[in-house]
Amino acid sequence: MDVALPLPLQTAFSYRVPEKWPVPERGIRVTVPFGPRRVIGMVTGPSPPAGGERALKDITAVVDEEPLIAPPLLDLAQWVSDHYLAPPGECYRLALPPAGVRASRAKIRATPKLSADASADGEPVLLALSSGPLTFAALTRRVGRDPSARVARLRAEGKVVIDQELEARGFRQARIAVLIDAAAAPKARGQAEVIERLCGAGGRAPVADLVRDRPSLRGALQRLERAGTVRIEDERAMRSPEVMPGGSARALTLTVDQRDALGQIAPLIDDGRYGAFLLSGVTGSGKTEVYFRAAEAALARDRGVLILTPEIALTPFLVRAAAARFGPTVAVLHSDLSAGERHDQWWRIRERETRVVIGARSAVFAPVDDLGLIVVDEEHESSYKQDESPRYHARDVAVMRGTLEGIPVLLGSATPSVESYTNAAKGKYRLLVLPARIGAQGMARVEVVDRREMLKAGSDPILTPVLREALAARLERREQALVLLNRRGYATSLLCRECGLQASCPNCSVLLTLHQRGRNVECHYCGHQAPTPTACGACKGEYLRLSGHGTEKVVEAVQAALPTARVERLDRDLAVRRGAVQKVLASFEAGETDILVGTQMIAKGHDFPRVTLVGVIDADVGLGLPDFRAAERTFQLLTQVAGRAGRADLPGEVILQSHLPEHYALRFACAQDYASFYEREMEFRRTMAYPPVAALVNVIFRSRDADQASQAAETLADRVRADAPGRFRVLGPAFAPLAKLRQEHRFQVLLKGDRASMREAVRRALVGQFGAVRWPGVAVDVDPLTVL
């Protein structure tokens, strides 16, 4: 059998099934020997015939009676592994219950020792002693807040179906195996007692009853919970995902455009047929209603629905609307959920307690049974791409899942990615268009203010008079405004006026940003923080100057210009506090805030009816980046934020301050003209052979030892070059644009051309060089979103 191991290894491993054992199905977890350890792996299929007579080791135990994951998800995990050149163990883990044991550390050192006891109904209860947890998915944190409502439940996944040693002792079907620390054997008795009591109670009992006569069993119960054998849940808390109050359950009367769009998707939902749709609709054109109607059509056929959104914390309105519409059948996979809550949600979905799942990137692997529709809202968002292994893009995975499950996939955006629009142009996706805003207001009026001229005239570098007056007018009329600057912090650099050096991160090759009114410095890449130095690190000069500005300083400037305004800030610094984002958004929605200043976080799918002005402090942030997506990103951000103005019955106005008003990204964003932007951008992609004209594979080598990283990069580049002619180009090796990160030097080899050939060449080069074991410092990024 081929077994994927939860280790960062590029390949699956072959094992033998002991004689007379039934052959475990694909998707069943097994334990296998790996070096001196036993690890849990997942059967991925029969092994290819071995070249030569290899002595395969035996599988030592079968963990599951039936696969935890359905076949389409197994296929999907395998596809992710193949497409993104990612270790199969890491890819299969995506489809398993979350909050598991960090898989790379899941190990079982000692061979379990066994003791047997009798459960209430006479079947043997087995205690397997070991020093580590056996399951991938375990370790849940306590969920319940109200102790009286807490219920303990034996988990099916704690079962060991077949184990060699158990078998030797005459146990064919072990009822349950409990894994505990061999060194802590006496504690095992308490755990055995808890298991026995739970078995006696039919697998499920209130915690209070379980420990009433022996309070000392609480510790044992906790250990079982940590090991994943017992799940402790709060029935009431589990059933109500955190959503903002409000939201309407009322379905709207569809516009003609909405009805046309739905009319194209509905037949595929009804027949259960694959098809990918790109719903391209300007901001405020009513895409959400199309999603919901399609979802209702799937639910009516008793099929499940998956709705992906870039970031749950930023889309409380979508979540709220969905909760109001679909009621308790919604599961929200919130990034704020504790490990235990996430684990519970996974099981609720798997057990069909919920039929509509809303979540970010990783929810694309949610175990929705009998799925009928996948929606990917804001499909252009970069947060759909995972920036650690496996480096998958949730939109592309969603389309593949749709293919495998045979169901429609609906991608929506006001600013589609250049890739998706190209796919629509080629007929790979079907294009659905919502050309106009709902309501009479139409799009907001956009004005560009040339900052160069304003600065020459001696104006404030943050708020030009035009923007300041527009803000003041809103305040007077009791309307609201959004102010965007896509850069958090106070100032962007600390400059020594004597030697001209700027303070940079000790770990990375980037400048430090100033925070808290300049009191602290912070690296936005590695998180390094320190009090702002009082002297230059190089020349010891004491004349230091703050330069550039971030959102913190914008708040200060707005407050100074409009002392009576109630101003709040929304950016990543705020998001680190649980619930803070929702609070700021809720108070803005309630009208308790007049002006909301923020990064791209304010540009997301919000629908605030009283916002009539959007100001952009510096529309060129990001255009200067040496990245092929700089223009696309800027166009998307500006179009999206402009779309926040004037969405209800009040007309909207947008003011963009810019140094580069002629740039096409700005011009077409002002005109809200996606089609023209696309044409112009594709010219650039064709000239430079950038995606979607050619595919990219980026291979990054990292090491604290610069020579080691550069030599490895050299070796790889040499090997893949042999396969390159006529298929792809090899650029580099060269310093990565971020040449040093977290004290590691980085070199990159960038391949451009035919994806399948590049993937194959890299796969062979890596395996040839490093064997099955992945070299620790190499990161392969297939279809990178950025080459920065």
The binding site for ligand ADP (CB under 6 A) comprises 252-255, 258, 281, 283-289, 438, 605, 607
Q: Which is nearer to ligand ADP, 253 or 564 (CB)?
A: 253
Q: Which is nearer to ligand ADP, 258 or 639 (CB)?
A: 258
Number of other residues whose CB lies within 10 A of the CB of residue 770? 16
User: Minimum distance between the CB of residue 644 and ligand ADP, rounded to whole angstroms?
Assistant: 9
Beta bridge partners of 375: 307, 410
- Residue 134 interface partner, choices ligand ADP, Zn ion, none, CB cut-off 5-8 Å depending on type: none
Contact 31, 329 (CB under 8 A): no
Max CA separation in the chain (angstroms): 91
Q: Which is nearer to ligand ADP, 257 or 781 (CB)?
A: 257
User: Minimum distance between the CB of residue 738 and Zn ion, rounded to whole angstroms?
Assistant: 10
Interior angle at CA 415, CA 262 and CA 678, nearest 5: 115
Which burial class, exposed, middle or buried, applies to 148 when counting CB atoms under 10 A from its CB (0-12, 13-18, 19+)?
A: exposed
Q: Which is nearer to Zn ion, 248 or 529 (CB)?
A: 529
User: Minimum distance between the CB of residue 295 and ligand ADP, rounded to whole angstroms?
Assistant: 13
User: Minimum distance between the CB of residue 281 and ligand ADP, rounded to whole angstroms?
Assistant: 5
User: Minimum distance between the CB of residue 349 and ligand ADP, rounded to whole angstroms?
Assistant: 25
User: Minimum distance between the CB of residue 253 and ligand ADP, rounded to whole angstroms?
Assistant: 6
Binding mask 482-521 for Zn ion (x = CB under 5 A): -----------------------x-xx-------------
Q: CA 340 from chain center: how many Å?
A: 18
For residue 704 the two structure tokens come to 């604290």
- Residue 525 interface partner, choices Zn ion, ligand ADP, none, CB cut-off 5-8 Å depending on type: Zn ion
User: Minimum distance between the CB of residue 308 and ligand ADP, rounded to whole angstroms?
Assistant: 14
* Identity of the residue numbered 633: R
* Identity of the residue numbered 62: V
CA distance 242 to 337: 9
Q: Which is nearer to ligand ADP, 480 or 748 (CB)?
A: 480
Cα distance between the two ends of the chain: 40
Q: Which is nearer to Zn ion, 276 or 700 (CB)?
A: 700
Residues 6+ apart with CB under 8 A from 594: 474, 475, 480, 481, 565, 566, 567
- Residue 692 interface partner, choices ligand ADP, Zn ion, none, CB cut-off 5-8 Å depending on type: none
CA distance 746 to 709: 7
Contact 13, 34 (CB under 8 A): yes
Side-chain-side CA neighbours of 611 within 13 Å: the count stands at 26
Q: Which is nearer to ligand ADP, 280 or 422 (CB)?
A: 280
- Residue 252 interface partner, choices Zn ion, ligand ADP, none, CB cut-off 5-8 Å depending on type: ligand ADP
For residue 671 the two structure tokens come to 């005109």
Q: Which is nearer to ligand ADP, 184 or 252 (CB)?
A: 252
CA distance 788 to 783: 13
For residue 429 the two structure tokens come to 């996706």
Q: What is the CA radius of gyration of the chain?
A: 28
Q: Which is nearer to Zn ion, 156 or 510 (CB)?
A: 510
Q: Which is nearer to ligand ADP, 432 or 623 (CB)?
A: 432
Q: CA 330 from chain center: how many Å?
A: 19
User: Minimum distance between the CB of residue 569 and Zn ion, rounded to whole angstroms?
Assistant: 23
- Residue 523 interface partner, choices Zn ion, ligand ADP, none, CB cut-off 5-8 Å depending on type: Zn ion
Helix, strand, or coil (residue 588): helix
CA distance 721 to 733: 11
User: Minimum distance between the CB of residue 288 and ligand ADP, rounded to whole angstroms?
Assistant: 3
Going by their DSSP bridges, the two strands 529-531 and 520-522 should be labelled as: antiparallel
* Identity of the residue numbered 317: F
Among positions 141, 142, 445, 528, the unique one binding Zn ion when judged by CB under 5 A: 528
User: Minimum distance between the CB of residue 551 and ligand ADP, rounded to whole angstroms?
Assistant: 24
Considering only the stretches 128-136, 176-184, 528-536, 643-651, report the one whose residues sit in contact with Zn ion under the rule CB under 5 A: 528-536
- Residue 254 interface partner, choices Zn ion, ligand ADP, none, CB cut-off 5-8 Å depending on type: ligand ADP
Q: Which is nearer to Zn ion, 734 or 738 (CB)?
A: 738
User: Minimum distance between the CB of residue 137 and Zn ion, rounded to whole angstroms?
Assistant: 34
523 in contact with Zn ion (CB under 5 A): yes
Contact 26, 66 (CB under 8 A): no
Contact 692, 419 (CB under 8 A): yes
CA distance 669 to 478: 27
- Residue 459 interface partner, choices ligand ADP, Zn ion, none, CB cut-off 5-8 Å depending on type: none
Among positions 526, 706, 734, 738, the unique one binding Zn ion when judged by CB under 5 A: 526
Helical pair 287-300 and 256-271, crossing angle rounded to 10 deg: 30
Contact 768, 723 (CB under 8 A): no
User: Minimum distance between the CB of residue 251 and ligand ADP, rounded to whole angstroms?
Assistant: 9
- Residue 682 interface partner, choices Zn ion, ligand ADP, none, CB cut-off 5-8 Å depending on type: none
- Residue 11 interface partner, choices ligand ADP, Zn ion, none, CB cut-off 5-8 Å depending on type: none
Considering only the stretches 76-84, 104-112, 526-534, 603-611, report the one whose residues sit in contact with Zn ion under the rule CB under 5 A: 526-534
**Which residues of the chain form contacts with Zn ion (CB under 5 A)?**
505, 507-508, 523, 525-526, 528
